[in-house]
Amino acid sequence: MVINTDKKIILLGGPTASGKSERALNWAAEFDGEIINADSMQIYKELNIITACPSDKDMIEIPHHMYRTLNGDDPCSAERWRDMARMTIDDIWARGKTPIVVGGTGLYFKTLVSGISKVPKIDNGIRREIRTAVLEKGSEDAHTRLQKLDPIMAKHLAPGDSQRVARALEVIISTGKSLDHWQAQPPTGGIVDEEIDISKHVLLRDRTELYERCDRRFKLMIEDGKVIEEVKALAALNYDKHLPIMKSLGVPQIMDYLQEILTLDEMIHLSQTATRQFAKRQMTWFRNQFADWKIEKL
């Protein structure tokens, strides 16, 4: 394959609090680039502080894309993110700039680079029927229905995971085959199959240092006070508790604090613990799934 050097793209993944945003800003200045978000929580409008979105100053100095784009009750799948990102990438190339994709959601990078197994289009009537039933009767009832139609997927999904249960149901009913079957098909639509100059990087830190950065960042968020108000505003929207946005790092703990289920110290401790555990999983994912990416260490 002949690489088209006019189409250069830089990918930068890594765990939370590793310093990806700063590194991306430096590269954007060096390579005349624009930054694209690859973090599954930074894509939602309602969360800015708690997800550590780039500052207004940084976003003015360097063009940023796909940050705080969707409403929290409009879940973003990996395939949807890939399609949005690809349109943005093409637009950046058309302006002669370098797209720099940065974030901590490994599945987003994997889908962009290698593609995704394509599920046939779901009948809109079936989708509406399933989603309405989940809202009215609850995800547990939908899971019972899924057990009868698709025991393989039912075994893998928690009864309370309304989004994934609904997805599995609509696929089996609309296509006649399990989502497990479609996910096993060869992936398509990845940029790896195109004549593109792809530069792939993973930013890692010493684990102890990373954990300290996670703890310090969350403590500073709380001391500032604005993050509490941000979560309070999110709670006022009465979103389904199973939506991805409601499970963002720190959100469940702060909501429990607002309801006086947790003390301030308990909330901080549990949030910091959850963040460190998440960072550990991210490091494991990137090391195992992205072995051919260049490791950048700080």
For the segment 192-209, what is each residue's pLDDT rounded down to a tens digit?
A: 888 899 999 999 999 999
Q: How far apart are the first and last CA of the chain?
A: 34
- Dist. CA 100–CA 8, nearest whole Å: 9
CATH class, 207-283 region: mainly alpha
* Contact indicator for 191, 198 with CB cutoff of 8 Å: yes
Structure tokens at 171: 């696929």
Residue 25, pLDDT score: 97
Choosing among 2.40.10.220, 1.10.20.140, 3.30.470.10, 3.90.950.10, the CATH entry for 124-183 is 1.10.20.140
Q: What is the pLDDT of residue 1?
A: 56
Q: Give the pLDDT means over successive 10-residue stretches in the chain (298 positions).
A: 77 96 96 97 96 94 97 92 96 97 96 89 88 88 95 92 89 94 88 91 95 97 94 95 92 97 98 97 92 88
- CA gap 296, 109 in Å, rounded: 17
Confidence (pLDDT) at 4: 66
CA-closest candidate to residue 159, choices 128, 137, 184: 137
The alpha-carbon radius of gyration of the chain (Å, integer) is 20
pLDDT of residue 246: 95
Quote the CATH superfamily of domain 4-118+187-205+286-297: P-loop containing nucleotide triphosphate hydrolases (3.40.50.300)
pTM for the model stands at 0.85
- Residue 164's pLDDT is what? 86
Domain range list for the chain: 4-118+187-205+286-297, 124-183, 207-283
pLDDT digits (tens, 9 = 90+) for 278-295: 999 999 999 999 989 999
pLDDT for position 187: 84
